[in-house]
Structure formats: structure tokens, C-alpha cells
Amino acid sequence: MLKQIIAERIRREGAISFRDFMEMALYYPEYGYYTSADTEIGCRGDFYTSSHVHPVFGALIGKQIAEMWEVMGKPDSFHIIEMGAGRGFLAHDMLSYLRETEFFDALTYVIVEINPHIKKKQEEQLSGFNKKTQWVSSLTQISPVIGCVFSNELLDAFPVHLISSKGGRINEIYVNIENDEFYEVYKECRPEVINYLSEFGITLPPDYRSEVNLDIKDWLKDAAITLREGFIFTIDYGYPAADYYSPSRTRGTLLCYYRHQVNDNLYQQVGEQDISAHVNFSAVNKWGKEYGFESVGFSSQGTFLVSLRIDEVLQERYAAEESSEPGRNTVSQLVSPAGLGESHRILIQYKGKQKHELGGFSLRNRLNTL
């Protein structure tokens, strides 16, 4: 159905940018990957995140956010605003950990969710915390608050402009259709894409494809309006700009996930497979400053979790479970350089009266790479 809807738009308007194609494939009402009633995330779905690996991940995220509350002087009201909450496992693990802390009384947990089917599953998962949880469909529905805008693998799902360098010229890739099949065409880059390349000093070598994520800037603007004071806490896979646009990365980072299988066919199973691109953390850092946020720290996930004393939290909260070999192997996925520990990066930004240091960056802070 969605393929036909996109095809009809192209026949009516002409070729559309890849960014618009990706947005429709992921977010078109009822039929997009993230808006469909059939969307599943986790073991039964197309991919899993750190929150599906072990509850200690949520506990440590909660521990870090509790420290944010403390360094801000323990305000009476503090909102955690999670975007892209999936089935609600991470929220559940965070709240379960925080329930035993003094922070819990001040806490309100708000989930931003556009899919009513997913929202229902989240409500079931978090039924034990119904006095602490709220739901909205957009950041703009939240009045300015003190708190933390948190996301785990959200920005990689924002639609991106796809660009190509060939024959000494940089073009933007558009999507057309013929004989009921999508195919790519090359058009002149829109000015904002050219400005982005200039802003980050990006020079593309010949025969090179990559992505430009401009939607992150709009998201940061909304976060700045939502937070009167507080933090943006971003976990995702990505790189500083210099690594993202390395000459060796000739095909960019776009990938599709379908039933736990990875592919690079962007135009198959439209609406049924996830499409994602890595995050340019240099852009998140720079654009955040434009909206009043100073970056506190940037680190790999593994180093961050070790800095928060993952071993101690495991011993305190999950000792019985971790005594088994499968339990230890599961946790290792979160911190291992061969797994999520290195592929995922963490950036925390702050808007407020003074810059704060946080425990998650006590071992290593790589802000200088941004």
C-alpha cells in the first residue's frame, strides 16, 4: 500500500528527494515503519537496542540522570522526556532503579510517541508507574520544564538527504519510478545541503555517497523550547564529522533492517523495514550551541557505562542473575569494543546557569574530537 502511495506522489509531483522518500517510508500515517500497527522492536522485530540486552543499561541511564538532578540543586520538579521509547523497556528499567532514590519524588516521566499502537504497549509495560508517566505526540506539546530530553537510537531514524559526488560535481539523489520500480536520479543540491557541507568543512572525494541530516537542527530547536533548564542526553551510533565523511567511507552509512537482517536495498519492503543513518555528532554539538546548549561530554557507550561503575550496580541490583555465564556474556555486549560499547556514542548537552561535570565522563571525555 505505501509503495503505491509514494508512487502516486511521484507521478503527480515528479521525482522526490530521498529525504522525503525516507520520511514517508518511516513515518507516513498508519503505513510507515514507525507508525504501523505491525511495528515490532526487539527480539521479535527487526532490530534490538541496548535496552533489550540487560536492565542494568536502564539503571545506569537513570543513575546518570539522577546525578543531573543533584548537580542542578535537586529541583522539586524534574522531567525526563524520552523520544523513541520503543516498547518502554528502558523507561521501565530506569524507573525501577530510580524508585529507590530520593530523586523519584521529583520525577515525571514523559514519553513522546507518535504511534498509538506502540503507545498502548508502552502503557502496559509501565502500568506499575502510572502516577509517574505521561504521553504526548510531540515535544512542542510540553510546556517549558526543568529536566532532561533523552533518546536512545532516535536521531539515526531522522530522514536524511542523500548526496553523491561524481564527475567533479556534488548532486542530491532523488527518487523516481518507472514500471512500478523506484530508481535514483541526480539533481542539483538544495542550498541548505551545500551550506551544511561548507559549515563542517566537508570535501567529498570522487565516486562518493553520503548523507546530510538537517532534521536534527529542528529537533534541537524544539528541545531548546521545551527545556527551560536542563540536559539533552543522546545515545546513538555515529561519528565526529571528520570520521563520518572520511574518504574511506565511500558508500555512506545508510542501512536497512528487516527481521534482524541487514541490507542496503533502500527501495524494497517499503514501510516494512527500518532505514537508518549514523549521526554526525559534530553537527549535534555545534547546532546545540546555537540554541544555548553547551556540551558536557562525548564518549563511547562502553567507557560511559564503566565510568558509572557498571560492576557495582550489577552487584547491588542484579547479583543473582549475573552469577550465570549467559548473564555475564549478555552484559558484555553493552561495553565490549566489538559490540554496542564502541558502535554507540553518548553526547550530553546542558542549558542553564553553569556548566556541570558528570560521572559518565569521569574516565574519558572526547569532546575535543567534535
Domains plus CATH for the chain?
Answer: 50-157+214-240+273-369 (3.40.50.12710)
User: Residue 48: what pLDDT?
Assistant: 56
Other CB atoms within 10 Å distance of the CB of residue 325: 8
Among 319-323, 343-347, 353-357, the range of highest mean pLDDT: 343-347
* DSSP 8-state secondary structure symbol assigned to residue 253: S
User: Residue 317: what pLDDT?
Assistant: 87
The residue among 331 and 344 whose pLDDT is bigger is 344
- Report, as an integer, the average pLDDT of 262-286: 96
The residue among 39 and 308 whose pLDDT is bigger is 308
- Report, as an integer, the average pLDDT of 239-265: 94
Give CA–CA dist 250/206, Å, rounded. 9
Q: What are phi and psi of 258, to 5 degrees?
A: -140, 115
- Report, as an integer, the average pLDDT of 25-50: 78
Q: Is the pLDDT of residue 326 over 80?
A: no
User: Residue 52: what pLDDT?
Assistant: 73
User: Residue 332: what pLDDT?
Assistant: 80
Helix (H, G, I), strand (E, B) or coil at 318: coil
User: Residue 360: what pLDDT?
Assistant: 98
Give CA–CA dist 66/107, Å, rounded. 9
**The pairing of beta strand 107-112 with beta strand 133-136:** parallel
Give CA–CA dist 359/308, Å, rounded. 6
Other CB atoms within 10 Å distance of the CB of residue 142: 20
The residue type of 149 is V
**CA atoms in the 13 A half-sphere facing the CB of 129:** 26
The residue type of 216 is I
Q: Is the pLDDT of residue 325 over 50?
A: no
**CA atoms in the 13 A half-sphere facing the CB of 286:** 13
Evaluate whether 253 touches 236 at the Cβ level (below 8 Å).
no
Give CA–CA dist 133/318, Å, rounded. 25
Cell of 180: 512500478
The residue type of 222 is D
- Report, as an integer, the average pLDDT of 179-199: 97
- High-pLDDT (> 70) share of the chain, %: 94
- Among 75-79, 103-107, 163-167, 258-262, the minimum mean pLDDT is found in 258-262
Cell of 331: 552484559
- High-pLDDT (> 90) share of the chain, %: 85
**Which secondary structure element, helix H or strand E, spans residue 183, and what is its range?**
strand 181-188
Of 288, 340, 366, 338, the C-alpha closest to 60 is 340
Query: What is the residue-averaged pLDDT of the chain?
Result: 93
- Report, as an integer, the average pLDDT of 338-354: 92
Query: How wide is the angle at C-alpha 275 spanned by C-alphas 272 and 278, nearest 5°?
Result: 160
Is the alpha carbon torsion for 65, 26, 302, 279 positive or negative? negative
Q: Is the pLDDT of residue 53 over 90?
A: no
User: Residue 328: what pLDDT?
Assistant: 54
Q: What are phi and psi of 95, to 5 degrees?
A: -65, -35
Cell of 201: 568543512
Give CA–CA dist 33/274, Å, rounded. 6
Cell of 141: 506539546
In order, the DSSP letters of 45-87 are: SS---GGGT-THHHHHHHHHHHHHHHHTT--S-EEEEEES-TT
Cell of 226: 521545551
Evaluate whether 205 touches 246 at the Cβ level (below 8 Å).
no
Q: What are phi and psi of 176, to 5 degrees?
A: -120, 180
Question: What does each C-alpha distance from 266 to 123, 140, 214, 275, 351 come to in angstroms?
Answer: 32, 31, 19, 7, 37
Give CA–CA dist 296/100, Å, rounded. 27
User: Residue 204: what pLDDT?
Assistant: 95
- Report, as an integer, the average pLDDT of 176-201: 97
Q: Is the pLDDT of residue 329 over 90?
A: no
**CA atoms in the 13 A half-sphere facing the CB of 23:** 12
- Among 141-150, 196-205, 333-342, the minimum mean pLDDT is found in 333-342
Q: Is 130 exposed, middle or buried (0-12, 13-18, 19+ CB in 10 A)?
A: exposed
Q: Is the pLDDT of residue 39 over 90?
A: no
